[in-house]
């Protein structure tokens, strides 16, 4: 038998032996989810959600920026970046809006929540018709724990039914499932989505959800395994994101209130596990929030801005390209830090990608995986408005490299 014949025979045997493993790998790790990812999620209590909320948040952010213009300019240190932030706040101040029926919405009766569900869903429809909605959105329901399950299911069903009755599409709209403690809850949520789609005449797969990682049980299960990895696989393509919950997770771990932070070691540990569990699955990551808000006197605002600006940059450098914002005053620093991150890396990313596509050996020998990361970096920069299309390579090339 010649070497070619031997190689062909061996290949056939290996293909047969590994067929099931190949299929399982492709099913479990389909690759990164294509399309735009918002740079943040703004949570607003359901009773405060109105059709005009997004432009109102932008106006409030601009008012605060104007009131403390000198201090913001000193923090950003780039007039061009300040102008870019101002333009963003005027045109698209909120990228992702989550209407909250959970921790930010307490002390209401069932009747109050029933009314707010319908009113909020109708407000979303109205904001879309007026062109005033955030490009991404959704709701956070109460958890599927026994004590809150009935209320969460009722809210979810009513909200989706109201949108369906109005003919509102569910593209870029998700449900946030909080305080997940078991794989069973994730499987139950996937089942709920299927039942609602069937019952309301929605397209299969129209309903998607994200999981909040805010309990230690979701990171480390009773058997010592990383439960979050099993949650990702149990949800399938319905799961779009894992969101870290700063304060619930920290409190569950016994961290004193004064030390609870996005940068506490327990937070970094949880997020590293999330990152490994989500890699290659198409499930995106979001960091949590900081509860230090830019309110009060000028010194208080400046200190809160500096803290938020630093934490946003820290998250970006660690591969968390999305985070939570709790107040309109956090929008200027969200965009300032995000834009600075991408603009600081723009020239180098363009150069490295050009060298890679021309197969030019310079000081860095990039591999295909790094080329994908460089292309994804540039696409994120364009998507959020940090850079203009003219400042990067051909978008078609970037998409083909990022999603081979």
- Give residues with Cβ within 8 angstroms of 299, minimum separation 6: none
Sign of the torsion angle spanned by Cα atoms 383, 387, 388, 392: negative
Query: Residue ranges per domain, the chain?
Result: 40-344
d(CA 310, CA 334): 10
User: pLDDT tens for residues 86-128?
Assistant: 999 999 999 999 999 999 999 999 999 999 999 999 999 999 9
User: pLDDT tens for residues 171-217?
Assistant: 999 999 999 999 999 999 999 999 999 999 999 999 999 999 999 99
Nearest to 28 by CA among 235, 181, 252: 235
Nearest to 88 by CA among 338, 380, 355: 338
**Domain 40-344: which CATH number of 3.40.50.300, 2.60.120.10, 3.40.50.720, 3.20.20.60:** 3.20.20.60
Nearest to 164 by CA among 176, 177, 173: 173
- Give the per-residue pLDDT at 322: 98
Confidence class for position 398, pLDDT limits 50, 70, 90: confident
User: pLDDT tens for residues 326-352?
Assistant: 999 999 999 999 999 999 999 999 988
Nearest to 85 by CA among 394, 312, 297: 312
- Give the per-residue pLDDT at 307: 98
**Overall pTM surpassing 0.75 (yes/no):** yes
Q: What is the 3-state secondary structure (H, E, C) of the chain?
A: CCHHHHHHHHHHHHHHHHHHHHHHHHHHCCCCCCCCCCCEEEEEEHHHCCCCHHHHHHHHHHHHHHHCHHHHHHHHCCHHHHHHHHHHHHHCCCCEEEEECCCCCCCCCHHHHHHHHHHHHHHHHHHHHCCCCCCEEEEECCCCCCCCHHHHHHHHHHHHHHHHHCCCCCCCEEEEECCCCCHHHHHHHHHHHHHHHHHHCCCCCCCEEEEEECCHHHHCCCCCCCHHHHHHHHHHHHEEEEEECHHHHHHHCCCCHHHCCCCCHHHHHHHHHHHHHHCCCCCEEECCCCCCCCCCCHHHHHHHHHHHHHHHHHHHHCCCCCEEECCHHHHHHHHHHHHHHHHHHHHHHHHHHHHHHCCCCCCCCCCHHHHHHHHHHHHHHHHHCCCCHHHCCCHHHHHHHHCC
User: pLDDT tens for residues 208-257?
Assistant: 999 999 999 999 999 999 999 999 999 989 999 999 999 999 999 999 99
> Taking the CA atoms of the chain, what radius of gyration do you get in angstroms?
23
Confidence class for position 393, pLDDT limits 50, 70, 90: confident
Answer yes or no: are the C-beta atoms of 53 and 97 closer than 8 Å.
Answer: yes
């Amino acid at each position: 038998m010649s070497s070619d014949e031997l190689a062909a025979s061996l290949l056939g045997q290996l293909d047969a032996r590994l067929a099931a493993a190949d299929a399982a790998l492709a099913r479990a790790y389909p690759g990164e989810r294509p399309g735009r990812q918002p740079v943040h999620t703004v949570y607003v209590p359901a009773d405060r959600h109105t059709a005009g909320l997004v432009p109102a948040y932008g106006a409030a952010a601009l008012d605060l920026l104007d009131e403390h213009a000198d201090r913001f300019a000193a923090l950003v240190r780039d007039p061009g970046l300040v102008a870019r932030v101002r333009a963003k706040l005027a045109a698209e101040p909120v990228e992702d809006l989550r209407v909250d029926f959970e921790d930010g919405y307490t002390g209401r009766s069932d009747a109050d929540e029933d009314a707010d569900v319908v009113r909020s869903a109708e407000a979303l429809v109205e904001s879309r018709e007026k062109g005033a909605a955030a490009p991404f959105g959704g709701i956070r329901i109460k958890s599927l724990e026994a004590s809150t399950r009935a209320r969460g299911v009722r809210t979810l069903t009513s909200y989706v039914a109201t949108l369906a009755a109005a003919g509102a599409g569910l593209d870029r709209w998700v449900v946030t499932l909080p305080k997940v403690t078991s794989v069973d809850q994730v499987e139950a949520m996937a089942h709920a989505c299927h039942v609602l789609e069937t019952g309301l005449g929605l397209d299969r797969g129209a309903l998607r959800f994200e999981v909040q990682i805010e309990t230690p049980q979701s990171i480390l299960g009773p058997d010592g395994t990383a439960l979050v990895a099993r949650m990702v696989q149990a949800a399938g393509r319905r799961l779009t994101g894992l969101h870290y919950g700063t304060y619930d997770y920290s409190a569950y771990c016994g961290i004193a209130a004064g030390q609870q932070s996005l940068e506490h070691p327990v937070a970094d540990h949880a997020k590293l596990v999330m990152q490994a569990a989500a890699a290659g699955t198409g499930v995106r990551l979001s960091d949590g929030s900081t509860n230090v808000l830019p309110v009060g006197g000028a010194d208080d605002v400046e200190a809160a801005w500096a803290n938020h600006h630093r934490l946003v940059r820290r998250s970006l450098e660690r591969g968390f390209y999305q985070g939570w914002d709790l107040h309109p005053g956090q929008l200027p620093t969200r965009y300032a830090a995000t834009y600075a991150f991408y603009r600081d890396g723009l020239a180098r990313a363009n150069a490295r990608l050009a060298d890679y596509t021309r197969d030019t050996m310079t000081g860095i020998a990039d591999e295909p995986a790094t080329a994908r990361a460089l292309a994804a970096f540039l696409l994120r920069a364009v998507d959020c408005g940090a850079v203009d299309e003219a400042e990067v390579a051909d978008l078609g090339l970037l998409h083909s490299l990022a999603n081979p």
